[in-house]
Chains A and B, each alone.
With several copies, the nearest count.
Chain A
Amino acid sequence: MTYHPVNPTLADPLPADALELLRSMYEIRFFEDEIMGLFSQNLVRGSTHLCQGQEAVTVGVCSALSPGDTMTCTYRGHGAVLAMGAPLDRAFGEILGRAGGLCGGKGGSMHLADVSVGALGSNAIVGGHLPTTVGAALAASYRGTSEVSVAFFGDGSTNIGAFHESLNLASIWKLPAIFVIENNQYGEYSTLASTTPIERLSDRAASYGMPGVFVDGNDVIAMRSATKTAVERARAGEGPTLIEADTYRHSGHSRSDPAKYRPEEEVKSWFARDPIVQLRNAIEASGGADAAAEVERTAHTDVDAARDLALTWPEPELSAGMEHIYS
């Protein structure tokens, strides 16, 4: 299975909700700008992994989902969780370690979860959440309901055992799961080619008898379209799909990585294909310049307001540390 052209794309007439997609991507972009800012003020602990540059993947995929569908993702999961509809303020609150955070401050940047919108959990163990998505899909299959579950994960994660086991099990049971590789070309600092003996990760789908689709991950419409096909297949009981989204992270692996190992030309060419700029250009080209500018402006305002609100929230009570271990 190699390149599967997916339509429609940004080249085609835009969908009615293009501005919604733009807004969602802007929110993620600005959210992470703020996170960086908070980090440098020492208000964020540990590490944080930005998905800037990859917004079209999560926004495109999640825009193809319906209420009740679920999603798992990685430590690079701000975008995915927000794209599912988690509130900005509570996402800020979580990363700030506040009581009002999505997880009461116990999870942090790497563990954002908002189960009420289907964001089942962000995982800090590479590959660790793929089986969870298999299980969420199993629940739907078991109950005979129609929800699908999506797992986002990186290119480097396709080499770990849990990837293999999860795709195999999902396929043999024809579960409504969608596996989305966010191929941002690097693990932490290692290029894909240095760790993976094949070029097209979506080709690995063949080992599991499922379709493998390679998509322009910086084209939000293409991502949505590919996902829609996978969702239909999943809801029809035909089983899982592996989608490889070709994309790029704008910054380093984590806040401590200046990403000096990347060739300048490569960085440049990918920045030129910034998923937000591309969608905005398309919107402007179809006469939506003002509306797009307004979306950008309000996204900015909303993000700032959410940040400011979250900053007013108190830290957790000490007693919270011993809550939620058992039920």
Chain B
Amino acid sequence: MSDTLNYRQVIARAIADEMREDPDVFMIGEDIGAAGGAFKTAAGLFEEFGPRRVRDTPISEQAIVGAALGAAIMGLRPVAEIMFADFAGVCYDQIVNQVAKHRYMTGGQVTVPLTIRMANGAGTGFAAQHSQAGENWFLNVPGLKIVVPATVEDLYGLLRGSIRDNDPVLFFEHKGLFSVKGTVPTGDAAVLPLGVASVVREGSDITIVATQQMRHRSVEAAEALAAVGIAAEVIDPRTLIPFDDAAVARSLAKTSRLLVVQESPQDGSWGASLVSRMTTQHFTLLDAPPSLLSSPDSPVPYAGVLEDAWLPSVDAIVARAKELVAF
């Protein structure tokens, strides 16, 4: 049995399925109750589970994340919502200094089964403080897991997998993908483990690694490349920590060309980190320089022409891939 839903809708579906199975799972966040969330990603949950399990908070992200941490330590499985990933800035200490380290600092006395969901990314005209690729703020902080689903199936399976995970998971839902549709199988089989990449499209000429919005653009680019005889393999890592390096290395063994596409500046990004890992650990697999197609080093601008230019386009991916294959 399966349903067709969009990316936005499947969020509530995944949470509801976990909440039905496990009474320790609850939600905490701003306007997630009767309002169903700023993006309606919690629609229906309040009606089904009530105010005890779907908890509307004041505007106080430090308290939200920290309360979720305290509850997780005590054995519950909170699903906290930070409305936009950018707002992780106001609770950054709680995430990196408290949530990420509590287990370690106590020498393993506790586990922290906590999921923090955030709306991510650019492309929707929300400007510099509501459009960032939040995943890159947390890469250097051991203790966190980071999930970046691009499809309905992955979102469903990974969100359930994250809630079941006994470690803190930062779960990024891309605002630009809310209307992407997909088919949701019901049942536990759909639950996905963290740390397994998805080979979205096979190919032998070049390996393109991309997440979320850029994964979709990369698939489009791969189609265009196919038309000119270039077989691109598109890999979506789906989780950044842990990262399925082996999947990329396997692909490079075939293609020997690496193109990473991301919607953020280069420095401190997951893409740069991947390029670094692949070149330090799999240098001899590469027959051409690795390539990292990124956004320019600027905040996200508001105007449509500027924001469009800020995001790597399908054309830019195609062009970069051609260059690389021609190297």
Spell out A's residues near B (CB within 8 Å): 44-47, 70, 72, 97-98, 101-108, 110-111, 113-116, 120-121, 123-140, 142, 149, 156-157, 159-162, 164-166, 168-169, 172-173, 187-190, 194-196, 261, 315-316, 318, 320-327
Residues of A within 8 A of B310 (CB): 321
Q: If A135-B72, A190-B35 touch, does A125 touch B58 (CB 8 Å cutoff)?
A: no
Q: Is the CB of B90 within 8 A of A131?
A: no
Q: If A46-B125, A46-B130 touch, does A107 touch B106 (CB 8 Å cutoff)?
A: yes
What's the minimum C-beta distance from B239 to chain A, rounded to whole angstroms?
A: 13
The verdict on B212 contacting chain A, using a C-beta distance below 8 Å, is: no
The verdict on B289 contacting chain A, using a C-beta distance below 8 Å, is: no
Q: Is the CB of B60 within 8 A of A165?
A: yes
Number of B residues, CB within 8 Å of A? 74
Within 8 Å by CB of B102, from A121, A142, A164, A318, lies A121
Complex Cα gap A327–B104 (Å): 10
Q: Is the CB of B69 within 8 A of A172?
A: no
Q: If A115-B109, A131-B65, A133-B70 touch, does A261 touch B127 (CB 8 Å cutoff)?
A: no
Residues of A within 8 A of B226 (CB): none
- The B278-316 residues at the A interface (CB cut-off 8 A) are 296-299, 301-307, 309-310
Between A and B, 23 residue pairs with Cβ closer than 8 Å are A45-B302, A97-B303, A104-B107, A107-B107, A108-B127, A108-B303, A113-B105, A113-B107, A126-B59, A128-B97, A131-B62, A138-B70, A139-B71, A160-B58, A160-B61, A162-B62, A168-B63, A172-B58, A187-B58, A189-B34, A315-B305, A316-B303, A326-B167
Complex Cα gap A188–B84 (Å): 14
Q: Is the CB of A325 within 8 A of B306?
A: no
Q: Is the CB of A103 within 8 A of B106?
A: yes
Closest residue to A254 on the B side, CB-wise?
A: B38
Complex Cα gap A165–B94 (Å): 12
Q: Is the CB of A327 within 8 A of B166?
A: yes
Q: Is the CB of A190 within 8 A of B303?
A: no
Residues of B within 8 A of A70 (CB): 74
Q: Is the CB of A159 within 8 A of B298?
A: no
Q: Is the CB of B62 within 8 A of A161?
A: yes
> Which of B31, B67, B90 has the largest number of chain A CB atoms within 10 A?
B67
- The B84-139 residues at the A interface (CB cut-off 8 A) are 86-87, 89-90, 93-94, 97-98, 102-111, 124-130
Q: Is the CB of A124 within 8 A of B71?
A: no
- The B163-211 residues at the A interface (CB cut-off 8 A) are 166-167
Residues of B within 8 A of A164 (CB): 60
What's the minimum C-beta distance from A3 to chain B, rounded to whole angstroms?
A: 24
Complex Cα gap A278–B169 (Å): 50
Residues of B within 8 A of A107 (CB): 105-107, 127-128, 302
Known: A124-B126, A169-B57. 9 other contacts (CB 8 A): A104-B107, A115-B73, A131-B62, A159-B58, A159-B59, A162-B90, A165-B63, A190-B31, A326-B143
Q: Is the CB of B302 within 8 A of A137?
A: no
What's the minimum C-beta distance from B126 to chain A, rounded to whole angstroms?
A: 4
Residues of B within 8 A of A165 (CB): 58, 60-63
Residues of A within 8 A of B31 (CB): 187-190
Q: Is the CB of B298 within 8 A of A136?
A: no
Q: Is the CB of A121 within 8 A of B105?
A: yes
What's the minimum C-beta distance from B8 to chain A, rounded to whole angstroms?
A: 12
Q: Is the CB of B74 within 8 A of A106?
A: no
What's the minimum C-beta distance from A73 to chain B, rounded to whole angstroms?
A: 13
Q: Is the CB of B110 within 8 A of A125?
A: no
Complex Cα gap A107–B129 (Å): 10
> Which of B61, B70, B102, B111 has the largest number of chain A CB atoms within 10 A?
B70
Residues of B within 8 A of A136 (CB): 70-71, 73-74
Q: Is the CB of A135 within 8 A of B68?
A: yes
Q: If A125-B129, A135-B67, A139-B76 touch, does A318 touch B306 (CB 8 Å cutoff)?
A: yes
Complex Cα gap A126–B75 (Å): 25
Q: If A142-B71, A321-B309 touch, does A106 touch B301 (CB 8 Å cutoff)?
A: yes
Q: If A135-B71, A162-B66, A195-B56 touch, does A325 touch B126 (CB 8 Å cutoff)?
A: no
What's the minimum C-beta distance from A173 to chain B, rounded to whole angstroms?
A: 8
> Which of A45, A120, A322, A325 has the largest number of chain B CB atoms within 10 A?
A325
Complex Cα gap A327–B89 (Å): 24
